[in-house]
């Protein structure tokens, strides 16, 4: 059986789809690069915005046009909150709820083992190694679900309550992926800072990171998005270990205290400001990124200006900015004073202009400097050879030309040009 796998949205979705790929390979099936070649197709959908939901519908229709004989299975958050809507799309064989996602391999092939031990997966990991997908970082799912009730967030509706993986299983997976050739692991989850809460351990994430650093040899460890209220006062001391990479993504969502209250966020400007200060003091060369929602219900011009001012104060190097969209089942969808689309568009334009200026200034610090880069993809070719893309230790995107194969290699790279979208460099030496 030939299977095409696609993932829309967050790193957690990517982690789940890669786990599914390993299960299918272990069952003797082939993962193909083109939907046109597939017997079956799985799309892991996202519902965080209306745009993400549209992407899932468009991708499903496009694949059905390319290959009208393939069975198409839709799973993920959008599939969970709107199954009836997706079932009406031509070509859809089955819509699979998030609660049944871990049985997808058995749905496609009932003969596949229900729970393949990590030591049996190691040979598959060597075949499905770093660089055979669109990235060279291994995304490790450490937990799922969320107990928070942010009024804009549909993920809690789609993913349910928080569930942590056992520490030993995570350690075993990272060890196996390192053996397979991966040099960087990225811990991910819906509400990663709550790792261990369901085990009665409020310091679970800190203990997990310490255990990974102590009991694996993975050279590079990165954390994905962390809610600011989950971080203990001594958490940033973990970065004394240089294997823990200096990048933090702390979702702000709004720089206005009144909007944050309407969002039911468990942080305010003062506490977020103190968190940023502490992180910057403890983590050298820190790159801090964030999320911001524009046009939340009732957002006034003054509240939006508070966000602009606070974003400027914190100096984020990059923003994931979204215009608010009503999501089914969320409290904000029924709030009064929904913001007009033209207003949201104008505010988004202003926010992005400021974010781009901050990004350009941050990247400009690296002009003529030498940085480590883990290379993960080919983006094209020029007169000097192939064009490569990768990320620095502190998660800045770098592009460089070179004749050698740089996939999954860490090199020292001299930066020759900087800009809003990242850095242009020249790979000068390997530090492997």
SS (H, E, C) the chain: CEEEEEECCCHHHHHHHHHHHHHHHHCCCEECCCHHHCCEEEEEECCCCHHHHHHHHHHHHHHHHHCCCCEEEEEEHHHHHCHHHHHCCCCEEEECCHHHHHHHHHHHCCCCCCCCCHHHHHHHHHHCCCCCCCCCEEEEECEECCCCCCCCCCHHHHHCCCEECCHHHHHHHHHHHHHCCCCEEEEECCCHHHCCHHHCCCCHHHHHHHHHHHHCCCCEEEECCCCHHHCCCCHHHHHHCCCECCEEECCCECCCHHHHHHHCCCCCHHHHHHHHHHHHHHCCCCEEEEEEEECCCCCCHHHHHHHHHHHHHHCCCEEEEEECCCCCCCHHHHCCCCCCHHHHHHHHHHHHHHHHHHHHHHHHCCCCCEEEEEEEEEEEEECCEEEEEEEECCCCEEEEEECCCCCCCEEEEEEEEEECCEEEEEEEEECC
Which pLDDT tens digit goes with each residue over 70-119? 999 999 999 999 999 999 999 999 999 999 999 999 999 999 877 656 54
pLDDT of residue 129 exceeding 50 = no
- pLDDT score at 26: 85
Which of residues 126 and 361 earns the better pLDDT score?
361
* Structural domains of the chain in order of their starting residue, each with its CATH number: 2-108 (3.40.50.2300), 118-364 (3.80.30.20), 370-430 (2.40.50)
Q: What is the pLDDT of residue 402?
A: 76
Confidence of residue 266 (pLDDT cuts 50, 70, 90): very high
Question: Is residue 126 predicted with pLDDT exceeding 60?
Answer: no
Mean pLDDT value across the chain: 91
**Does the pLDDT value for residue 401 go beyond 90?**
no
- Predicted pLDDT of residue 206: 96
Asked whether the predicted pLDDT for residue 211 surpasses 70, the reply is yes
Q: What's the whole-number mean pLDDT along residues 291-298?
A: 98
Question: Higher confidence at residue 413 or residue 131?
Answer: 413
Q: With pLDDT > 90 as the criterion, what percentage of the chain qualifies? A: 78
What is the band of 132 on the pLDDT scale with cuts at 50, 70, 90? very low
């Amino acid at each position: 059986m030939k299977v095409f796998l696609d993932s829309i949205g967050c790193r957690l979705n990517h982690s789940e789809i890669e786990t599914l790929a390993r299960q299918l390979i272990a069952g003797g099936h082939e993962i193909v690069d083109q939907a046109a070649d597939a017997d079956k197709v799985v799309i892991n959908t996202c519902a965080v915005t209306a745009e993400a939901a549209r992407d899932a519908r468009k991708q499903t229709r496009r694949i059905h046009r390319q290959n009208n004989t393939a069975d198409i299975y839709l799973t993920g958050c959008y599939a969970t909150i709107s199954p009836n809507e997706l079932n009406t799309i031509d070509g859809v064989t089955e819509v699979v709820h998030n609660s049944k996602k871990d049985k997808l391999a058995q749905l496609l092939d009932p003969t596949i083992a229900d729970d393949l031990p990590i030591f049996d997966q190691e040979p598959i990991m060597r075949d499905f190694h770093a660089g055979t997908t669109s990235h060279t970082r291994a995304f490790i799912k450490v937990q799922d679900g969320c107990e928070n009730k942010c009024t804009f967030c549909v993920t809690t509706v789609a993913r349910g309550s928080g569930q942590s993986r056992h520490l030993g299983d995570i350690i075993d997976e990272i060890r196996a992926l390192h053996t397979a050739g991966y040099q960087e692991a990225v811990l991910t989850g819906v509400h990663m800072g709550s790792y261990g809460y369901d085990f009665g351990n409020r310091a679970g994430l800190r203990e997990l990171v310490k255990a990974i650093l102590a009991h694996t040899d993975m050279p590079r460890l990165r954390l994905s998005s962390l809610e600011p209220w989950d971080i203990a006062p001594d958490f940033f001391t973990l970065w004394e270990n240089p294997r823990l990479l200096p990048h933090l993504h702390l979702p702000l969502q709004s720089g206005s205290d009144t909007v944050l209250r309407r969002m039911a966020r468990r942080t305010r400007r003062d506490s977020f400001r103190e968190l940023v200060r502490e992180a910057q003091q403890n983590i050298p060369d820190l790159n801090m990124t964030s999320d911001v929602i524009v046009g939340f219900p009732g957002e006034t011009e003054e509240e939006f200006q508070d966000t602009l001012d606070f974003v400027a104060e914190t100096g984020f190097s990059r923003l994931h900015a979204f215009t608010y969209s009503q999501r089914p089942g969320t409290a904000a969808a029924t709030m009064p004073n929904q913001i007009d689309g033209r207003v949201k568009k104008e505010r988004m334009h202003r926010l992005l202009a400021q974010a781009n200026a901050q990004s350009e200034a941050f990247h400009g610090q690296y002009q003529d400097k030498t940085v480590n880069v883990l290379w993960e993809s080919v983006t094209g070719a020029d007169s000097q050879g192939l064009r490569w893309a990768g990320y620095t230790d502190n998660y800045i995107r770098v592009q460089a030309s070179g004749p050698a194969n740089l996939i999954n290699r860490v090199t020292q790279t001299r930066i020759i040009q900087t800009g809003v979208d990242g850095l242009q460099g020249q790979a000068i030496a390997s530090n492997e």
